[in-house]
Amino acid sequence: MTVRVPAKVNVQLSVGPLREDGYHDLVNVFHAVSIFDEVVAKESESITVQVDGKWSDQVPVDDTNLAIRAARALAKHAGRTYGADLVIQKDIPVAGGMAGGSADAAGALVACNELWGLGLPIEDLMEIAGDLGSDVPFSLIGGTAVGTGRGEQLSELPTGGTFHWVFALANGGLSTASVYAECDRLRAATGAQVPWPQLNDSLMEALGTGDAYALGSNLSNDLQAAALNLRPELAPTLDAGRQHGALGAIVSGSGPTCAFLAIDATHARDLAQSLTATGAAHTAVAAHGPVQGAVLI
| Each residue's pLDDT tens digit, 34-86 | 999 999 999 999 999 999 998 888 899 999 999 999 999 999 999 988 999 99
Domain membership flag for residue 296? no
Judgement on whether residues 143 and 35 belong to the same structural domain of the protein: yes
Alpha-carbon span 58 to 249, nearest angstrom: 27
Domain membership flag for residue 142? yes
Domain membership flag for residue 294? no
Judgement on whether residues 178 and 130 belong to the same structural domain of the protein: no
Q: What is the DSSP string of 6-28?
A: EEEEEEEEEEEEEPTTS-EEEEE
CB-based contact 273:149 (threshold 8 Å): no
Domain membership flag for residue 47? yes
Segment (H or E) for 236: helix 234-243
Domain membership flag for residue 221? yes
Residue among 104, 135, 211, 222 flagged as catalytic = 135
Name the band, by pLDDT with cuts 50, 70 and 90, for residue 151: low
| Catalytic site includes residue 8 | yes
Q: At what angle do helices 100-115 and 122-132 cross, to 10 degrees?
A: 140
| Catalytic site includes residue 135 | yes
Alpha-carbon span 235 to 145, nearest angstrom: 28
Binding site: which residues?
Answer: 93-103
Judgement on whether residues 43 and 93 belong to the same structural domain of the protein: yes
Across-strand partners of 32? 8
Average pLDDT of the residues in 3-10: 97
pTM of the model: 0.94
Residue 246: predicted pLDDT: 98
- The SS3 call for residue 93 is coil
The residue from 134, 157, 180 where one domain ends is 157
Alpha-carbon span 234 to 151, nearest angstrom: 25
Judgement on whether residues 152 and 65 belong to the same structural domain of the protein: yes
CATH number at residue 116: 3.30.230.10
Q: Over pLDDT 70: what percentage of the chain? A: 100
Average pLDDT of the residues in 257-268: 97
CATH number at residue 233: 3.30.70.890
Judgement on whether residues 137 and 173 belong to the same structural domain of the protein: no
Residue among 8, 37, 90, 104 flagged as catalytic = 8
The whole domain housing 115 covers 2-157
Judgement on whether residues 129 and 145 belong to the same structural domain of the protein: yes
Q: How many domains does the chain have?
A: 2
Average pLDDT of the residues in 225-244: 96
Domain membership flag for residue 297? no
C-alpha separations of 159 from 60, 84, 103, 266 in Å: 35, 36, 21, 21
143 residue type, one letter = G
CB-based contact 9:33 (threshold 8 Å): yes
Average pLDDT of the residues in 160-169: 95
Judgement on whether residues 123 and 212 belong to the same structural domain of the protein: no
Binding site for ATP: which residues?
Answer: 93-103
Q: Which of 157, 162, 168, 164 is nearest to 201 (CA)?
A: 157
Positive or negative torsion for Cα 131, 112, 33, 287: positive
The residue from 138, 157, 176 where one domain ends is 157
The residue from 113, 136, 157 where one domain ends is 157
Rounded to 5°, the CA angle 212-236-59 comes to: 85
Judgement on whether residues 12 and 151 belong to the same structural domain of the protein: yes
Judgement on whether residues 8 and 136 belong to the same structural domain of the protein: yes
Domain membership flag for residue 53? yes
Judgement on whether residues 147 and 262 belong to the same structural domain of the protein: no
Letter string b/e over residues 136-150, b meaning 16 or more CB atoms within 10 A of that residue's CB: bbbbbbbbbbbbbeb
Domain membership flag for residue 295? no
Judgement on whether residues 22 and 140 belong to the same structural domain of the protein: yes
| Each residue's pLDDT tens digit, 271-290 | 999 999 999 998 999 999 99
Judgement on whether residues 24 and 128 belong to the same structural domain of the protein: yes
